[in-house]
Amino acid sequence: MLAPQRHALILAQLDKETTVSIRALTQKIGVSRETIRKDIDYLAQTAKLQQVRGGATRIRTQEVPMASRSQINAEGKARIARAIAARIPTGASVYLDNGSSTRALAHALAGHSGLRVFTNDLEVASIIAPACENLVMVGGRIDTEEMATFGSEALAQVTQHHVDVSVISAGGLSARALLTDFSDEGMRLRAQMSLCGQTRYVIADHEKFGVVGQFSLTIPADGLCFVFDQDPPDELHSALHTQKIQYIVADIV
Amino acid sequence: MLAPQRHALILAQLDKETTVSIRALTQKIGVSRETIRKDIDYLAQTAKLQQVRGGATRIRTQEVPMASRSQINAEGKARIARAIAARIPTGASVYLDNGSSTRALAHALAGHSGLRVFTNDLEVASIIAPACENLVMVGGRIDTEEMATFGSEALAQVTQHHVDVSVISAGGLSARALLTDFSDEGMRLRAQMSLCGQTRYVIADHEKFGVVGQFSLTIPADGLCFVFDQDPPDELHSALHTQKIQYIVADIV
DNA sequence: CATTATTTTGCAAAACTTTGCAAATTATTT
DNA sequence: AAATAATTTGCAAAGTTTTGCAAAATAATG
């Protein structure tokens, strides 16, 4: 039995089973523990599967589902939200992207009045509706996991909007890749949304520090400001400094 | 049994049960109390579930609490909804306009699967999301009273859509003026939505009989079908007959 | 046939699981 | 409201399984 054959068998098994144990594979393939272990080592190296104690699982390619994500670091998100809300004047026009951070901001903006808000997030729209004089929903295909619109139709609309302040959230923020996202579509839409604004905020709570998504989001540094809930790691601080990107850390009030 | 398998089993159980006890899980999975406890610790750390004394619960997922107005003639609307839902095949593409009747239909369609739905109503979108393979939101200015999009931006998008079935609701339906609406914008959008469909339903519960809105909604009779919850008054029946518009009355099942 | 690469085997260290017990919490009874 | 009973938690020792490594065995190559 040649190595590539064994690799194929292991991956085939993972197609059916979500997890496989080394024990079961030695049985099935008829080679020793150590051989299987090395196969798994190799396949994990080449990102074909994820190694776990006693075996392997399919690689987790998906982001954490929305329902769970809103829970993560709620306090930090709320703090960031308050900081940004304080910087948005009454009656301003604002662009809000989708995500749990932005929803926190929508809650924080509830006290404002006369806002003119644009968003692609259905929940943001529901939350912020009472505070709005004018509220515009970006249309397009709805990602039912996120409950927000994406796609070319959405993108086309965003290009036609212009606002005082745009706020987008980061999928990941690292010294290596700076701002990144986990979907191509989301990245493009966010980039465009950010461009709509005169003043442009990017939200990133500390859970995002060091996270690298698959898609880089590059937006001009001019008029741009990151908002964090904690001081960024030194590495990230330097990277931002080099790029001449300013940031603020939301106070713990 | 590898850790990821146990994790999957625990989460799968939570999909069915809202809460699980450590006791039950040790039984079901066949490992010790302490192992389950550590699995739950881990899953709670990664925000996949919420740890509670003696077990775990689903993470609190905040529903989109949209202020739904008191349902006038909810029973009739539900009956109409069921009648139309029964006529929409699995996997069909459907246009739904905004309003309480359409929301009732969205609920009735929850049992379907693989639908492709277009709508301008945020609540309809929230309700029907789980049943959809594909869900498209019409963008545009949101009427915060209705929580639905309107305006020229919305209208422009609707002209680009085509579906198997379109369902719009009537503002008023009378022998004198036939189909009418109370807003110019709504009327225009609804007319365009109706045109999108191969088969075209118009919902009108008996509360709408004899009501005359300020704006006439004229759509071709071809492929058109009104759906009522009660037999229309003779006068209306004649008017529809003259216009060669067919209608059905939803059964009281 | 010698050399090189791969696989198997054995063993100690590390990681994980089970088990038992005392402290803390919650529910029930008096 | 206090006392009692039942359950759950946190922790540590004992028991298993898995890992990492290196030597021995086997297979492949020129």
Write the CATH number for A8: 1.10.10.10
The beta-carbon neighbor of A135 closest among B2, B142, B154 is: B142
B64 has pLDDT over 70: no
Q: Is residue A62 part of a domain?
A: no
What's the CA gap between A248 and A232, in Å, rounded? 10
Same domain, yes or no, for A8 and A111?
no
Same domain, yes or no, for B199 and B131?
yes
B90 has pLDDT over 90: no
Same domain, yes or no, for B79 and B167?
yes
pLDDT at B251 (0 to 100): 82
Same domain, yes or no, for A231 and A108?
yes
Q: Which residue of B lies nearest to A71 if distances are taken between CA atoms? A: B47
Read off the pTM: 0.70
Q: Which residues of B touch A131 (CB under 8 A)?
A: none
- pLDDT tens, A63-81? 555 555 666 778 889 999 9
Enclosing domain of residue B241: 74-249
pLDDT at B63 (0 to 100): 41
Are the C-beta atoms of B14 and B44 separated by less than 8 Å? no
Residue B60 pLDDT level (bands cut at 50, 70, 90): low
Residue B58 pLDDT level (bands cut at 50, 70, 90): confident
What's the CA gap between B53 and B43, in Å, rounded? 15
The DSSP secondary structure of B137-155, one letter per residue, reads: EPPEEEETTTTEEEHHHHH
Residue with the two structure tokens 């498209």:
B136
Same domain, yes or no, for A75 and A169?
yes
Q: Is residue A77 part of a domain?
A: yes
Q: Is A230 helix (H, G, I), strand (E, B) or coil?
A: coil
Burial class (CB in 10 A: 0-12, 13-18, 19+), B225: middle
Same domain, yes or no, for A135 and A23?
no
What's the CA gap between A11 and A19, in Å, rounded? 10
Q: Is residue A52 part of a domain?
A: yes
Q: Is residue B238 part of a domain?
A: yes
Q: Which residues of A touch B135 (CB under 8 A)?
A: 141-142, 144
% of chain B at pLDDT higher than 90 = 69
In this prediction, residues B11-40 reach a mean pLDDT of 89
What's the CA gap between A56 and A36, in Å, rounded? 11
DSSP letter at A252 equals: -
Same domain, yes or no, for A40 and A105?
no
Across the interface, whether the CB atoms of B149 and A142 are under 8 A apart is answered: no
Q: Is residue A39 part of a domain?
A: yes
Q: Which of B166, B241, B170 is nearest to B199 (CA)?
A: B166
Q: Which residues of B touch A54 (CB under 8 A)?
A: 2-3
Q: Region of B72 please: left (phi>0), alpha (psi -120 to 50) or beta.
A: beta
Residue with the two structure tokens 């693989």:
B114
Query: How many Å lie between the alpha carbon of A181 and the closest alpha carbon of chain B?
Result: 20
Helices (H), chain B: 3-17, 22-25, 33-45, 74-87, 100-108, 122-128, 151-158, 184-196, 234-242
What's the CA gap between B248 and B227, in Å, rounded? 5
Residue A202 pLDDT level (bands cut at 50, 70, 90): very high
Are the C-beta atoms of A1 and A31 separated by less than 8 Å? yes
A207 has pLDDT over 90: no
Chain B: which residues have CB within 8 Å of chain A?
Answer: 2-5, 8, 46-48, 59-62, 64-66, 122, 125-126, 129-130, 132, 134-142, 144, 147, 149, 153-154, 157
In this prediction, residues B90-104 reach a mean pLDDT of 92
Average pLDDT, chain A: 89
A46 CA to D27 C1' in angstroms comes to 26
Same domain, yes or no, for A84 and A161?
yes
Q: Is residue B67 part of a domain?
A: no
B88 has pLDDT over 70: yes
Q: Is A72 helix (H, G, I), strand (E, B) or coil?
A: coil
**What is the CATH number for A227?**
3.40.50.1360
What's the CA gap between B228 and B93, in Å, rounded? 22
In this prediction, residues A177-187 reach a mean pLDDT of 89
Q: Which residue is nearest to nucleotide D20 (CA to C1')?
A: A34
pLDDT at A65 (0 to 100): 54
Same domain, yes or no, for B104 and B15?
no
Domain stop point among A37, A57, A77: A57
Q: Which of B150, B141, B148 is nearest to B123 (CA)?
A: B148
Angstrom distances, CA of residue B99 to CA of A29, B66, B121, B231: 60, 13, 7, 22
A62 has pLDDT over 60: no
B136 has pLDDT over 90: yes
B37 CA to D12 C1' in angstroms comes to 16
Same domain, yes or no, for A104 and A213?
yes
Q: Is B185 helix (H, G, I), strand (E, B) or coil?
A: helix
Q: Is B186 helix (H, G, I), strand (E, B) or coil?
A: helix
Domains in chain A, number: 2
B190 CA to D17 C1' in angstroms comes to 66
Residues 6+ apart with CB under 8 A from A206: A73, A76, A228, A229, A230, A232
pLDDT at A105 (0 to 100): 96
What's the CA gap between A91 and A105, in Å, rounded? 16
Across the interface, whether the CB atoms of B47 and A54 are under 8 A apart is answered: no
Same domain, yes or no, for B110 and B208?
yes
Same domain, yes or no, for A164 and A197?
yes
